[in-house]
Each structure stands twice: as C-alpha cells, then as structure tokens.
Structure 1
C-alpha cells in the first residue's frame, strides 16, 4: 500500500510539473500572440495613414483634372472665337454683333449708345469709338438691338440711319427695384457708306443698364447691285 501511495504522489508531482511547464508555454504563446497583434495593429495603422494620404492625393488629382477640363474648355472656346474672328470673309458676308458691358448714366436725348464690346464683325465696319456701323455694301439688312433699364427707370431708344430714325423701343422698369428690357428688329435697304447706330430717344431717364444684357447686331440678307 505504501508503495502505491508513493507512486501516486510521484505521478501527481509529475503532473503538477507538466502543468506548470504547459502553463509557462501557454503564457509564452499568449505573449507572442500579443506581440504579433500589436505589430499587426501598428502595420494596420501605417497602412491606414498611407491609404488616407493616397485618398488625399487622389482628391487633389481629381481637382486638378476638373481645373484642366475648365481650362481646356476655355482654350477651345477662345480658339474657336479667334478662328472665327480671323476667318477671311467674302465682301458679301456682312454681319456684326456687339454688347454694352457697362452701365450708362447721364445720357441726354438723342445720345449715341456706344456698344463697347465687339463679338463679331466680319467686315470691320463697326466703330467702338462712336457706336456707328458703316454699311460696307448696298443691300437688304436686318438690324436688331436690345435695351434694358433697372431700378424703376425708363428709356426710349431709336435705330438711326444717316440721322433718320427707323425703329424704336420704349423700356420701363416699373416699380423701383425692378428691371425691364425691350428688343426691336427691323429690315431695311441701306446703301454703302450709310451710318447706322442706336441712340436714345427724346424722352427717358438717360440710363441704360448694360452689363452685357444690351446688344446691337446686324447682317445682310442679300446685296443689291
């Protein structure tokens, strides 16, 4: 019996030693796993920083692409406009278009309205200095213009050929703070060297809103010998 007792004690001691060794090994494995997890967390954090940086770079590149598209569109539009202006037109291809880009005040009666921006002038016949279109060749022409007023003002305008009015507009903004505009179109026979312009009428407040809303254009329908 004593022999069995001591044998049992030895077995229990061995089991206890093995358990302690296994526990130490488990602790070491847990420690290694914790180190691996900590390392992986650091790697993940670094990768997240890199990903954030890449996303920031992508956003900047996308913004650059949008700006480049706008610049390309502007360059294309400018190139087309320049090409249109530089195109060689025949003497019978007569057309012009102008804008009033600024607000005019203090206009007297029968004052010339000078449209200061030339959009198109195939025969270089419009003078931005005095607002006069000099007819380059005799023919049937269409002339059209738009006049606008604001802040409760009102104004009359006339299309003049060699000092004689042929068409009229009356624009009234109504109540203070409102805006108004009027457009008139007329078809006329005019002769080479005739002077065509838009001027104010004999009534009105002497103000035109401009700001690119007011235009003066004309073109030939067909020439006359």
Structure 2
C-alpha cells in the first residue's frame, strides 16, 4: 500500500474510531475515496482533465458564428459554424441543422446581433415549418442591436430543427465573432 493511501485512510478512519461521524456517512465517504483512488491507479497516477464524459442520453448543443453573415437569401438555413458543445452529436455545423437523436421535449434558443441600419429576420423551423420568429433591426437608438428567441418543442427522433432567414427577406447582416448563437438541449 502506498504512503499516500496509508495517510489518507488514517485521516478518514480516525474520526470513525473516535466516533465523531456516523458510520453510514463514513462508509459512503470511504467508497467515494476508494473509487477515486482506483481511477488514479487505473490511469497510472495521471489525471485526464481534458476528457469530458456525459451521461448517456444527454442531448445539448451550442454553436456560434465565427464570421459575420451578409446578404443571406430568404429561406436559407443560418449556419452557425463553430460548435462549442454537441452532446448526442445532433448539430451539424456544415448545414446548421440539429437532428434529434431521441424523442423528447427540447428547449431551443437563438440570438442574432446586427448593427445600425441593417436587419436580419429569422425563424425557427421544425422539419421546415415555421415555429417562432425573431427580428433584429438596428434602425433607432443604438449602434448595435440583438434579439433572442426561444421555443420549447416536443419532437421525435430524426426531426430537424434549424434557424432560417425569413422567406421574403434577405438577411442583411449578422455579426460573427461569437456574438450570434444557436443552442438547444433535451429537458
């Protein structure tokens, strides 16, 4: 047994012997410590702090624009090209489309930022059908303006959700550089 384990077990077991904590609390603590020690031993004493592991079945994504979008034709999908999170691998950064990996209730949100004198009409589409609209227009008062819209939808595996430019408008200008985002998660 390593010196570290002996010291750790002594620190944990001492309160148990002297009766300062209940046995059930210490038993749970002991199992947790044993589990952590096994993880360290299995990785040869190294901690992989970069690996992110999520529970199976969790679905969440967040994408943002790295570049500004200019004069995007009506009916076009808005492609948020930089993925920050993609649990469940439902979001496709090349198309801007989220494909539901499982049935459930999902929460979606998208933000658009434009500047004075420009506008960007969008809507959230479920399998191509309009669900909720969002208008961002910088005509009065401020140099830049943002708008955010949300929707909670009950969807099925394989359903496609994406942000589109309003059918009869041109998306004049949407700031990139992480100002405009699209996200969703399963409740």
TM-score (norm. length: structure 1): 0.58
**Does the 8 Å CA contact 1:112/1:200 hold for their aligned counterparts?**
yes
Counterparts of 1:165-180 in structure 2, within 5 Å, are 165-175=130-140, 178-180=143-145
- Note the 1:142-157 alignment, pairs <5 A: 142-157=107-122
Segments of structure 2 that go 5 or more residues without pairing to the other structure are 1-47
CA contact (8 A) 1:89 1:123 kept: no
2:174 is equivalent to residue 208 of structure 1: yes
Higher relative contact order (CA 8 A, sep 6+): 2
- Residue 56 of structure 2 is matched in structure 1 by 90
CA shift, 1:205, in A, is 4.6
Is 2:72 aligned against 1:107? yes
Q: What is residue 219 of structure 1 aligned with on the other side?
A: 185
Q: How does 1:17-28 map to 2 (within 5 A)?
A: none
Give the structure with the higher percent strand.
2
RMSD: 1.8
Q: Distance in 2 between matches of 1:176 and 1:186?
A: 28
- Structure 1 unaligned blocks of 5 or more: 1-78
8 Å Cα contact 1:109-1:206 kept in structure 2: no
Pairing of 1:48-197 with structure 2 (within 5 A): 82-84=50-52, 87-91=53-57, 93-175=58-140, 178-197=143-162
Question: What is the deviation of 1:191?
Answer: 0.7
CA distance in 1, matches of 2:54, 2:146: 35
Contact 1:143 1:217 in 2 (8 A): yes
Q: Which has the larger radius of gyration?
A: 1
Q: Which digits, 9 at most, give the CA deviation of each residue in 1:153-180, with x for residues without a partner? A: 0111100110101011111111598111
Alpha-carbon offset, residue 83 of structure 1: 2.5
* Total equivalences in the alignment: 139
Which TM-score applies when normalising by structure 2? 0.69
Q: Is the 8 A contact 2:71 2:170 kept in 1?
A: no
Q: Deviations over 1:190-225 (max 9, x none)?
A: 11000111111132553211221111000111xxxx
